[in-house]
Amino acid sequence: MTLFCWKGKEGNSMGKLYVVDGAILCCTLGTTTATLKVPKHRHIKIAGKLMANCSDVNLGQQCIGSFGNCYRSSPPPPCIYTITIPWQSIKDDVFAAKHEGVLENSWTMCN
């Protein structure tokens, strides 16, 4: 399974930073990074950037782009993922658009 990790965040929640629009995402098996796109209808901002929440893995909203090619197979095919579990290590008492906030140490998996 593949973990996504965060690079780029703003604000503070007891030592952990919130993930915001434009954060650079990385995948342990991808060849490139992807940029998070928080839906524009959100109103919660941190340092002038829209705050991500745990629903920002929805492929229909195209929040997360491709990570290039996937080293899960050889030769590495193009990255086409399906998220298999909700975000983990989220901020469960801070909400943006009725969903929990995503922190710099939050992660999920794909198949």
Helix locations, the chain, DSSP H: none
Assign 3 a pLDDT band (cuts: 50, 70, 90): low
Residue 42 pLDDT = 83
Phi, psi of 27 (to 5 degrees): -120, 140
Assign 77 a pLDDT band (cuts: 50, 70, 90): very high
Torsion of CA 84, 82, 2, 8, to 10 degrees: -100
What's the predicted TM-score (pTM) here? 0.79
Q: Is the dihedral of CA 104, 61, 83, 76 positive or negative?
A: negative
Q: pLDDT by residue (tens digit) across 92-110? A: 777 676 778 888 888 888 8
Which residues, listed in sequence order, are joined to residue 69 by a DSSP beta bridge? 78
| Residues across the chain | 111
Structure tokens at 63: 């929040």
